[in-house]
Structure 1
Amino acid sequence: MTRSRPAPDQKQPGRKRRLSRRHVLAGLGAATVALPGAASAASLRFDRPIPRGGGPKAAPQMLGSVMEGLGLADKTGVALIDFDSGEILETHQPAKTLPPASVAKAVTAMYALDSFGPDHTFRTRILATGPVQDGRVNGDLVLVGGADPHLDSDHLALLARQVVANGIHGVNGHFIVIGSALPFSRHIDPTQPASASYNPSVGGLNLNFNRVFFQWKPGADLLLTLKAQAERHQPDIRTVRIDAVDRASPVFNYRSIEGRDHWTVARPALKSAGGQWLPVRTPELYAGETFRAVASQYGLRLPDAILSPVAMGGEVVAEHHSIPLSRILRSMLIYSTNLTAEVVGMSASINNGAGITSIAESGAAMSDWMATRLGGANVGLVNHSGLSDQSRLSAMDMVRSMQSPADRAALIELMRTHRVSDGSGGEYAAGRAFVKAKTGTMHFTRGLSGLIRSGEKTLGFAIFAADLDLRAANPSQEGFRPRGSRSWSSKAKGQEQLLLRRWIDMYG
């Protein structure tokens, strides 16, 4: 059994020219997080009742004036609660339901911890369905995914080395891959651009965050490569194909041909050497080909992988455990990895006994869980990552969801420190207060929720803003930012900073 470092979230060698706007920062946080155990049913009752309605307790007119002056008042919901007293300090349209964007990942973190606890790990196994004779399995060798969201090519190499160490160098039957631990989805949000690597397929066997690294090098002959890129192993991939074509746009086009991913890329976009991640839509076969490639480096020869839709039995000849769930969730909240959110969210739903068949059904199960523990709430989450403008959550319900002392303690450890600016490039209230929060951003949509700590005082807050009319009128397009979205986002972030400074001064 292996237990190793977290997989690199999006490592790209050197400084490469990228075609897409969006990418995930390289590297994952590796600090071990000490968390309390998963909350029991009794601990989900709030220490002090928090009313769902009611007006603000401090300077309501002043807050209203502040919000009106920022220009997004009618598009924004705000709630601030003193968790020590249970008092609602300030609100603005607190019951207005809006898309939370990636703030939904904070709910997913609480959902997963409640289901599994912080020390849970995800297991990937290699099975042999027959006895080993003369170094060969007299049967099939099976790669079984266990919904590990951090599984990468290096981890598959560790598995291959275990298989060889057990005296296996070949197979007389088939090499089979299985990803039935979770329902399969070809993408998280079908409205996103085809080449968006933050919108990959999701299933029970995922590799390298279900992305393949595409590199190109112009010359007398244009060189195109696709690699299952990890820190130590970067095998070339054939289950995904890419060809350069003579067209101006779109830059990328995707088709599924005979069950394989087939991309075309516009040749004029490849004038300078570069690279970028592309989403994988056939993750089981991608993982199978990668395992076959790295295994050959250690003397294990296998035929091409065959996908089985159902689980199989056999003797475990190699096993890999992920890092603990607490560290997976910390990475998810810091780097906002959508695949991680969907995988751990669906895993929690199944562990809770929900008979889910899709991401949407799992999002609904998490919504029901949240509404139940809040004693009633208007929650409508369609997934676990927040990558959809169809999800709905109010600022008040978001803050109420963090009321449990166990959840607050966990989020303090898991969330990133959110910088509050003094407006002149410095840090506001340094040494006097700090903010731990999760951000969420889509075009014309912005969310921020978390905790303000000042001395012994803990405040919970949520700020959701969205202009859904502007978003509908300006859909996402590959490589293009909708007109006006940058300035809108800047205004929303400015609104957040002003409110945080206000709250630190008035209540910190």
Structure 2
Amino acid sequence: MRLALAVLLGLIVAPACAVLPAPVLQALRAADIPATSISVMVQSVDGGPARISHRAKVPMNPASVMKLVTTYAALDSLGPAYSWRTDALMTGRLADGVLDGDLVLRGGGDPALSIEQFWLLLRDLRARGVRDIRGDVITDRSAFAPTRHDPGAFDNEPLAAYNVGPDALLLAHNALRVRLLPQAGGAPALWAEPPLDGVQIDNRVQLVDGECGDWKDSLTAKVLPAPDRSTLTLQITGRFARPCGERIWNIAPLPADEFFARALRAMWAELGGRITGRVRDGATPPNALPLAGIDSPPLAQVIRDINKYSNNVMARQLFLTLGNGAGTPADTATADAAVRAWATRRGLALPSLMLDNGSGLSRSERLSAADMAALLRHAWASSVMPEFMSSMPVLSVDGTLRRRLRNSPASGQAHLKTGSLSDTRSIAGYVLDRNGQRVLMVAWLNHPNAGRAQPVLEALLEWVWAGNRQSFPVTE
């Protein structure tokens, strides 16, 4: 009787234990997620037999881990020192501080054009003698093809900074940086950067006691325009707990062209200048003369911001930049073609790859764990490996992983990119195991219970770090 029971239990347990490590299976059961919803690939960076290959060739949604495809393709094809340039040009005549003509601001798709960098460009124009602009300011966005972007289409969060669309003249990620600071009284102090011409803030936030928690979820913002939209009121309401201290809330209340125009007018006025005409989109006139320009940080630095902090709009800017070589304004089709052409040149087969915007903020992007592992192996052997690897968050140290597994012996021993959507959790990158061996690991999990899956990926990560060399049968 006991022998029969043992055989029966063996038949039940053996198949489960044969596909994934026991701690991972246990975490999956606790999250009520079947093993058929996860895809895993674990292997030495030098290749050889996989330690785990579970459904590794199944195309799945990798969420923000797709940024590793975009950033490695860019780093390898454009080079670590690549930079974007934003140019200022003029038409007409400049004399005695007066530009009797148009000022042209031509964007190159810079993902990192900050308020500080833009201020330096405007300050440079003032130093070159420009004060009063009698004509228009022409904003040239032609590096990227025009596209209709609905910021609320993905998850009905149109003001969320992560939903900002790409723009060839993107300023400060098109995000207003709202600061909140508790003070005596019924409302926190509240101010915003950059200054926006004709925009005032109506602070209706209540200061409350209690835990800080997910403080952003307690705030809402609404744009209330005047009938002719000459002025706007940004009404901010909600509750803010005193223990939160000073916080920054990034929101995107305006379309990119309006945000840029209002920021330009306000910043130019602060520098003592005046703009008589309109701020309008247009092409750079053939007779425009160069005045000044500013370069972005190098690509190696830009991809650190993209990967460590999972910046979606920067990734989308970079993705479109890859499509600029076609000689026409870049769009997602030319960018997709550029990534595939690069992979072909490098002998990197990615048969499962389905790209949408290159950021992972997508319902349609797909990649298999095996193909991501192939990309990671290729990157490990490339000349840009140091820049690529250092762009990823370090476990328990920085970026999106700074709070993960802080008390684990694996802390500080892995460079990994994570991703999350409502039905997706993912992780991929490099782990230095306890034996001093570098291992690549990839795991996608697509399931309605993905929000409960963090222990699953953490169990896998700790299993990899422990240097386990048990090989599991390949499961497709």
Q: TM-score band, normalised by the shorter chain? A: 0.7 to 0.9
Counterpart position of 1:414: 391
For the pair 1:368 / 2:368, whether they are aligned, the reply is no
Distance 1:143 1:279, change over 3 A: same
For the pair 1:186 / 2:158, whether they are aligned, the reply is no
For the pair 1:70 / 2:50, whether they are aligned, the reply is no
Q: Which amino acid aligns with 1:449?
A: A
Q: Which amino acid aligns with 1:459?
A: V
How far apart are 1:312 and its partner, in Å?
A: 3.3
Counterpart position of 1:53: none
Equivalent residue for 1:138, pick from 96, 100, 122:
100
How far apart are 1:175 and its partner, in Å?
A: 2.0
* 8 A Cα contact 1:194 1:252, kept in partner: no
Structure with higher Rg: it is 2
Q: Deviations 1:345-378 (Å, cap 9, x if unpaired)?
A: 11012236686434xx366436634763433511
Counterpart position of 1:168: 130
Counterpart position of 1:5: none
* 8 A Cα contact 1:153 1:208, kept in partner: yes
Equivalent residue for 1:104, pick from 66, 71, 79:
66
Distance 1:456 1:275, change over 3 A: closer
Partner Cα separation in structure 2 for residue 244 and residue 416 of structure 1: 37
Partner Cα separation in structure 1 for residue 198 and residue 301 of structure 2: 33
Q: Deviations 1:400-459 (Å, cap 9, x if unpaired)?
A: 0122211544422322222499989242388xxx32111112223111111124577432
* 8 A Cα contact 1:399 1:462, kept in partner: yes
Partner Cα separation in structure 2 for residue 238 and residue 219 of structure 1: 29
Equivalent position SS for 2:161: coil
Q: Which amino acid aligns with 1:190?
A: A
Equivalent residue for 2:259, pick from 286, 299, 320:
286
Equivalent residue for 1:238, pick from 172, 189, 198:
198
Q: Which amino acid aligns with 1:425?
A: N
Counterpart position of 2:445: 465
How far apart are 1:203 and its partner, in Å?
A: 0.4
How far apart are 1:137 and its partner, in Å?
A: 1.6
Q: Deviations 1:166-219 (Å, cap 9, x if unpaired)?
A: 122212211222222223453567222122121113200111111013467999
How far apart are 1:334 and its partner, in Å?
A: 1.0
Distance 1:402 1:240, change over 3 A: farther
Equivalent residue for 2:417, pick from 429, 438, 441:
438
Counterpart position of 1:320: 294
Q: Which amino acid aligns with 1:501?
A: W
Distance 1:423 1:214, change over 3 A: closer
Partner Cα separation in structure 1 for residue 186 and residue 392 of structure 2: 47
* 8 A Cα contact 2:134 2:277, kept in partner: no
Partner Cα separation in structure 2 for residue 260 and residue 86 of structure 1: 65
Distance 1:225 1:449, change over 3 A: same
Distance 1:253 1:124, change over 3 A: same
Q: Which amino acid aligns with 1:323?
A: P
Distance 1:437 1:379, change over 3 A: same
TM-score under structure 1 length normalisation? 0.71
Distance 1:105 1:505, change over 3 A: same
For the pair 1:340 / 2:314, whether they are aligned, the reply is yes
Counterpart position of 1:25: none
For the pair 1:448 / 2:427, whether they are aligned, the reply is yes
* 8 A Cα contact 1:124 1:144, kept in partner: yes
Counterpart position of 2:455: 491
Distance 1:212 1:391, change over 3 A: same
Q: Deviations 1:81-125 (Å, cap 9, x if unpaired)?
A: 223244333211101222111111111111111331110111111
Greater displacement, 182-191 / 330-339: 182-191
Equivalent residue for 2:407, pick from 425, 434, 441:
425
Distance 1:267 1:154, change over 3 A: closer
How far apart are 1:490 and its partner, in Å?
A: 3.1
Distance 1:201 1:83, change over 3 A: closer
Counterpart position of 2:374: 400
Partner Cα separation in structure 1 for residue 331 and residue 464 of structure 2: 40
How far apart are 1:238 and its partner, in Å?
A: 2.8
Partner Cα separation in structure 2 for residue 369 and residue 119 of structure 1: 21
Partner Cα separation in structure 2 for residue 174 and residue 362 of structure 1: 32
* 8 A Cα contact 2:134 2:276, kept in partner: no
Q: Deviations 1:247-286 (Å, cap 9, x if unpaired)?
A: xx99445699878997875745579897622115422332
How far apart are 1:492 and its partner, in Å?
A: 3.2
Distance 1:109 1:185, change over 3 A: farther
For the pair 1:311 / 2:268, whether they are aligned, the reply is no
Partner Cα separation in structure 2 for residue 366 and residue 290 of structure 1: 34
TM-score under structure 2 length normalisation? 0.75
* 8 A Cα contact 1:252 1:263, kept in partner: no
Equivalent residue for 1:79, pick from 16, 41, 44:
41
Number of equivalenced pairs: 422
Equivalent position SS for 2:50: strand
- Percent identity, aligned pairs only, is 22
How far apart are 1:332 and its partner, in Å?
A: 1.4
Greater displacement, 212-221 / 156-165: 212-221
Partner Cα separation in structure 2 for residue 424 and residue 127 of structure 1: 51
Counterpart position of 1:382: 356
Greater displacement, 130-139 / 419-428: 419-428
Distance 1:134 1:195, change over 3 A: closer
Greater displacement, 498-507 / 179-188: 498-507
Partner Cα separation in structure 1 for residue 111 and residue 404 of structure 2: 38
Counterpart position of 2:213: none
Superposition pairs for residues 142-291 of structure 1, below 5 Å?
142-183=104-145, 184=147, 186-187=149-150, 190-192=153-155, 193-214=157-178, 227-229=192-194, 235-238=195-198, 251-252=220-221, 265=235, 267=237, 269=239, 276-291=249-264
Partner Cα separation in structure 2 for residue 201 and residue 262 of structure 1: 22
